[in-house]
Amino acid sequence: MENDEKRCEELVKRLNEASEAYYNGREEIMSNYEWDAMFDELTELEAKTGYILPDSPTQNTGYEENNGEREPHEFPALSLAKTKQVSDLLKWAEDKPVWLSWKLDGLTLVLTYDNGKLTKILTRGNGATGTNITYLKNAIKGFPLKINYQGHLVVRGEAAISYTDFALINDMIEDDDEKYANPRNLASGTLSLDDPEKVKERHVCFYAFTLVYLDDNIRSWGERMEFLEKEGFTVVEREQVNADTLSKAVEQWTEKVENGQMDIPVDGLVICYDDTEYAASGNVTGHHAARAGYAFKWQDVSAKSRLLYVEWSCAASTISPVAVFQPVLLEGTTVSRASLCNISEMERLGIGKECTLEVIKANKIIPKCISVTDAAGICEIPKVCPVCGADTEIRISPKSQTKTLHCTNPDCTAKHVKKFTRFVSKSGMDIDGLSIQTMLRFMNEGFISDFADIYHLAEHGEVIRQMEGFGEKSCENMIKAIEKSRKVHPVNFIYALCIPLIGIDAGKKIIANGGFEGFLDRLEQEKGFEDIDGLGPEKSRSVLEWYGQDKNRASLQDLLKEVTIEKVDLSPDKEGKCMGLTFVITGDVHYYKNRDEFKAYVESSGGKVTGSVTSKTDYLVNNDTTSNSSKNRKAKELNVPVISEDEFVARFGK
């Protein structure tokens, strides 16, 4: 008994340490697989001994964040009971209609509305209190700032970041201490940032999963979710089932994850009663409400395989190890690769030159090595970069003591992958099928070292078709997208060149003053661009300094052999309705597709759009004309008219 109690204390300590890191967006101490195994062991020991510590994770609903102003929840955000057995779900469902939905793997938020306006956003925190992050209301997608319903409304949902955005953001982070272990870790770290603009860049999206309270009585959970959708919320996917159809539905939803159809991270499923009054009538403990819902977590399936070799892949400034092993069938798909993260993780696992790996698919998506047996020999750390051949060095992070491998060449192509991402982006050459991960793989294979090399990827088609994640169709689509991009708008081409300080707006001004040929003439004659309204000496100097570097000049000449620049006329309409006027556009728009389209119309009509309200601003366009935002306050202070988008269209539209 004494040994069992000591084990309980040890498990509580380790689980709480892991939760503290997990909920505060720091580097993970253990995987979900390990956490679940320890939690299950703790649950069994507590049931066996009756020895339950007050801070046991079986008794608490979450973990307090370290930052921000804390407030009590109006309605406690309790946990759901969890199971890995479908039979438990069937027993819980009884003979009542229930709803099946995703258990999203993000950060739970609680939104409050009064009189049709969003008044508060709290994180879940420990379930009783949360952190107030209302200042991020304009930085998170998936919910409206205003709704038609005028009563008191409380909505709970999950803020999540997609796997696509997670991979893109993580690969852009050069400091290994700042990288994130998974999308949930990234979402947590993102919502602790102070700068709303940085949060907005990370594409956090809110998915409502329950309507906690509204003044009107809507008893059906399904009808409540429909109500939220009509009010403009992004609502979690759902399906109504009963005890007879539940098992089949769980199987079908699980297949969606196994087949890679989910870009939003999920770590299980949830069922809840359609009858919300019945759901609220169950017993409530300090940890969960018995009838509020039931969470289903998938059984972690592992497979063992022999290591073939460790592949080292350079991304940004870091060279990361990837285990390549004999293919195994795991969760319905064949797996032969798993990231080993860094040198410290390799040492923790005990990776040898030869060894047997135990591999799982975390959340049924990401292959992860969880243990190593039969290790023999030493796995050598490469002394040269796989991309450029320069010397490597091992660095130890002062914060986490993590060992990572780095290329010492500041001009290594892989360190400038951000430029290649900009080059292929929609605002640049608009080439589908070339994600940052794909380009890094091509760089590590030696296929890409300059922009023009992208137009010769077809020469490596046979090799690319054999690479994991590629096939005949995907390779063909990528090559078609590359060929399509050979004809390009001059503004997009200038943006794609990655000239410092020169974006789409500056590109438009350059092309409107002499066209693309004029741009090349100015470069050759070193004439500069200061005479172009809106560019000025700093941007002019930046363009000339860029062109003054041999490698950039050569890159431009090589590209011009591969592409055709379209002939366009961007001269503003001299009789346009916006001629001579300066506008600031803020907030959401509805008449125009987005603010970029709005801005394009203003400029094509002879006007100008700036980012801040000054004495030179003629109009501030804001659909929330009565808000107390900083731009509205500044406009009132300077006597600048604040008009809605509809007013703008009536006065200045086509």
Residues marked active site are found at 103
Residue environment code for 291-309, b if the CB has 16+ CB neighbours within 10 A, otherwise e: bbbbbbebebebbebebee
CB atoms within 10 A of CB 116: 15
Contacts of 554 by beta carbon, 8 Å cutoff, 6+ apart: none
CA dist 316 and 404 (Å) reads 13
Among 139, 122, 141, 140, smallest CA distance to 131 is for: 122
Residue 122 main-chain phi, psi, to 5 deg: -120, 145
CB atoms within 10 A of CB 442: 22
Strands across the sheet containing 294-296: 81-83, 294-296, 266-273, 98-104, 238-241
Contacts of 270 by beta carbon, 8 Å cutoff, 6+ apart: 80, 100, 101, 102, 103, 209, 293, 294, 295, 296
Please say whether the dihedral angle defined by the alpha carbons of residues 285, 157, 435 and 443, taken in this order, is positive or negative: negative
**Could you tell me which residues are beta bridge partners of residue 310?**
323
**What 8-state DSSP symbol labels residue 485?**
T
- In angstroms, how far apart are the furthest CA atoms of the chain? 89
Q: Assess contact for 539 and 507: CB atoms under 8 A.
A: no
CA dist 152 and 215 (Å) reads 6
Long-range own/partner contacts, residues 241-248 (CB < 8 A, 24 or more apart): 241/93, 241/97, 241/98, 241/99, 241/100, 241/271, 242/93, 242/95, 242/96, 242/97, 242/98, 243/90, 243/93, 243/94, 243/95, 246/86, 246/89, 246/90, 246/93, 246/98, 246/100, 246/271, 247/86, 247/90
CA dist 589 and 235 (Å) reads 22
State the Rg of the chain over Cα: 28
Q: What tokens appear for 535 in the block?
A: 């560019």
Per the listing, tokens 């360190």 go with 415
CA dist 356 and 344 (Å) reads 18
CA dist 543 and 526 (Å) reads 10
Residue 458 main-chain phi, psi, to 5 deg: -60, -25
Q: Assess contact for 47 and 4: CB atoms under 8 A.
A: no
Contacts of 92 by beta carbon, 8 Å cutoff, 6+ apart: 271, 294
Long-range own/partner contacts, residues 585-590 (CB < 8 A, 24 or more apart): 585/609, 585/621, 585/622, 586/620, 586/621, 586/622, 586/629, 586/631, 587/622, 587/623, 587/624, 587/627, 587/629, 588/145, 588/623, 589/623, 589/645, 590/623, 590/645
3-state secondary structure of 80: coil
**Strand duo 266-273 + 98-104: pairing:** antiparallel
CA dihedral 467, 472, 474, 477 (to 10 degrees): 130
**What 8-state DSSP symbol labels residue 216?**
S
**What 8-state DSSP symbol labels residue 264?**
S
